[in-house]
Amino acid sequence: MRPTEGFVQESSKHQVKSEKQRTHSAVSTDARAVSTQEITHTQARDVCTPTGIRVGPSTSFIKLRAGALHPPGAPPDTGAPARHAIGRDHSLPTASQPARFTAGALAAPDGLGFADDRMKHAISTAAHGPFGPPMAEAVHACVHCGYCLPACPTYQVLGQEMDSPRGRIVLMKQVLEGTLPAAVAQPHLDACLGCLSCETACPSGVVYRDLISPYRALQEPARVRPWIERMKRFVLLQTVPYPARFRLAARLGRLAAPFTRLLPATFRPMMNMLPAALPPATRWKAVYRPAGPPRARVALHLGCVQQALDPEINDATISLLLRHGVEVVVPAGQECCGALGWHIGAADDARAQARQNLAAIPVSEVDAIISNAAGCGSGLREYPLILRGTQWESEARALAAKVRDICEFLVTLGPLDPPPRPAQPLTIAYQDACHLSHGQRVRSAPRQLLELIPGTTLCELPNPDICCGSAGTYNIDQPATAAILGQRKASAIAATHADFAASGNIGCLTQLRAHLPASFPPHRLLHTAVLLNRAWNGTLTAPTPQPVS
Ligand code: SF4
Ligand code: SF4
């Protein structure tokens, strides 16, 4: 049998069950009539896109799915932590204990019988250590329906089954079973962004994050890479997570910039991502106390590369928390969350950083651990998986259970006094960072806060669930696909003609600023916390109109 033969057979066998899917679509369409708050929320803002919102196939599907699978009797999605029940009963807003819609649970109420279609596998869970059971469960939960395909950015760009979530699940399954050489599957798995859009889209509750990162971690030790790739990986892992080293590397990189074309091709995307200049290094105090008695006490995770690229994000986060009466502890000794290494198979690096953060963050002494970088927040919530089977697993669960995005936390403080009215009404386009919307299920909270700014109109982007191509080091490792996705998203932002755009992740900001057209200068794309802080400070003013070319 040729290496891919089994895959092809299995894949074709798993093509969409047309009759069943038609039935499911009908169910979903009925559910749409009921309408979720999310749908209403989106439709209400369509008017601010001059070119008209085009609700793409993935967007429309996801809205259908959200309505169809909202747990019976569950409260609507209001943005509060325990209420982001998009597609599964998400009683904890963490990846640590996701109560899931299983295929069986899905089959029971609507009679679709998906339980019969769950993927059969021969993965030996014992052979794959602590990651074996969650990986096998993720494979088993897949019912081959294909609903994730239009939601997958790489399937949209590359257009073949093996670059879709369903195709990748089959590839990983076969490698884990020992029936397909890992090298055959590798290019398609390397092309995965890890954006988790497929998790949001999946009606069967496949927890894709339980599969892709553990798979990469297990494969990495045996993987043979060219020396130049090994060197690039070493440079990334030894500089990006460490702000001081990153600053030094950025300085050296700028000196080498005139010679970029002489460097090996694999290093050029990294050079192209280097900022022209970095703001001065910032040090934060150990504790920030509000004027009155604190209403809550939180620990702030500072992020790594974010500290060097845009320290205003942490300043703004602290300012917002103090303004709303929250005491902020900035734990000394904290490190990169580990997500960068975790997503590229460097599990030892990720575990070491996770353990360091467990030691540094006083979990039991704070009400929440605040993250303002979507990738970091999602990474922190994955600690129980990263440290699965180790002595630190229960500590990891305790930490993950307290992680909150800054916007998610602010809305839990109750009704907030709105910021002062800006001099002119503003339009703001909001870009969902994948590791906020898919990774942490935080969608409503940033929108609720931005809408508090008096006179503000919020613009929704078309295809909001599709990644901008940032995804950790993806825009360095897979620059061609990343550039296509970045240009699409940046063009969509510019087409809104909004005064500002906001997003909750430094990776997205960096990627999109590199691709924004001249009509939408990079300084108008801000981190959500920065934009909100300027609004509350009364310094948010509409930009000077650009001359029309
Ligand atoms: S994580 Fe993103 S890129 Fe990867 S399979 Fe899922 S949707 Fe596609
Ligand atoms: S991952 Fe989910 S949406 Fe995709 S084919 Fe499997 S069950 Fe269907």
Q: What pLDDT does residue 183 have? A: 95
Dist. CA 469–CA 256, nearest whole Å:
26
C-alpha–C-alpha distance, residues 63 and 37, integer Å: 10
Distance 426 CA to ligand 2 centre (A): 40
Q: What contacts 205, CB < 8 A, 6 or more positions away?
A: 87, 88, 100, 101, 102, 103, 105, 106, 141
> How far apart are the CA of 111 and the centre of ligand 2, in A?
18
Which residues have CB under 8 Å from 313's CB, separation 6+? 303, 306, 372, 373, 506, 527, 529, 530
Q: Is the CB of 242 under 6 A from ligand 1?
A: no
Residues 19 and 158 in one domain: yes
Residue 331 lies in a domain: yes
Residue type at 123 in one-letter notation: I
Q: Does one domain contain both 29 and 173? A: yes
**Ligand (nearest to CA of 165):** 1
H-helix or E-strand spanning residue 330: none
User: Are residues 143 and 191 both part of a single domain?
Assistant: yes
pLDDT means per 10 residues in the chain (549 residues)? 39 35 32 28 33 30 30 31 28 30 34 63 87 95 95 95 96 96 96 96 96 96 90 88 87 77 74 78 94 96 92 97 98 95 95 97 97 97 97 97 98 93 94 96 97 95 94 85 95 96 96 93 96 96 68
Please report, for the domain that includes residue 325, its CATH number: 1.20.1050
* pLDDT of 44: 32
Ligand 1 centroid from CA 545, angstroms: 38
Residue 454's alpha-carbon distances to 3, 124, 131, 419, 450, in angstroms, are: 60, 57, 48, 7, 9
- Is 378 found in the same domain as 320? yes
Q: Which atom of ligand 2 approaches the CA of 164 most closely?
A: 4
Q: Report yes or no on 355 lying in a domain.
A: yes
DSSP state of 458: E
| Maximum C-alpha span of the chain | 72
Cα–Cα distance, 206 to 467 (Å, whole number): 19
Q: Provide the edge-to-edge strand list for the sheet that holds 296-301.
A: 287-288, 326-329, 296-301, 368-371, 403-405
**CB 194 near ligand 1, within 6 Å:** yes
> Is the pTM higher than 0.85?
no
Helix 227-239 / helix 243-256 crossing angle, nearest 10 deg? 130
| Cα dihedral 343/347/348/352 (nearest 10) | 60
Domain total for the chain? Answer: 4
Q: What is the pLDDT of residue 367?
A: 97
519, 442: one domain: yes
CB atoms under 10 Å from CB of 26, counted, come to 10
Same domain? 317 vs 352: yes
Residue 288 has what DSSP assignment? E
- Domain match, 218 and 236 both: no
Quick one: which ligand is closest to 61's CA?
Answer: 2
Probe residue for ligand 2, chosen from 28, 88, 173, 198 as the CB with the greatest number of ligand atoms within 8 Å? 198
Residue 324 lies in a domain: yes
147, 163, 169, 208: residue to mutate for ligand 1 pocket, most atoms within 8 A of CB: 208
Q: Is 138 in the pocket of ligand 1 (CB under 6 A)?
A: no
In this prediction, residue 49 carries a pLDDT of 35
193 CB within 6 A, ligand 1: yes
Is residue 67 one of the residues assigned to a domain? no
State both tokens at 440: 């942490």
Element (H, E) at 54: none
217 and 261 in a single domain? The answer is no
User: Can you give the CATH number for the domain in which 526 is found?
Assistant: 3.40.50
Closest by CA position to 216, among listed 192, 252, 249, 242: 192
CA distances from 208 to 192, 305, 441, 443, 496 (A): 11, 26, 14, 19, 32
Q: Are residues 236 and 217 in the same domain?
A: no
Q: How many angstroms separate the alpha carbon of residue 396 from the centre of ligand 1?
A: 25
**Residue 167 C-alpha to ligand 2 middle, in angstroms?**
10
Q: Do 448 and 323 share a structural domain? A: no
Domain that holds residue 388: 287-412
User: Terminus-to-terminus CA distance in the chain, angstroms?
Assistant: 60
Co-location of 400 and 478 in the same domain: no
Strands 426-431 and 456-460: parallel
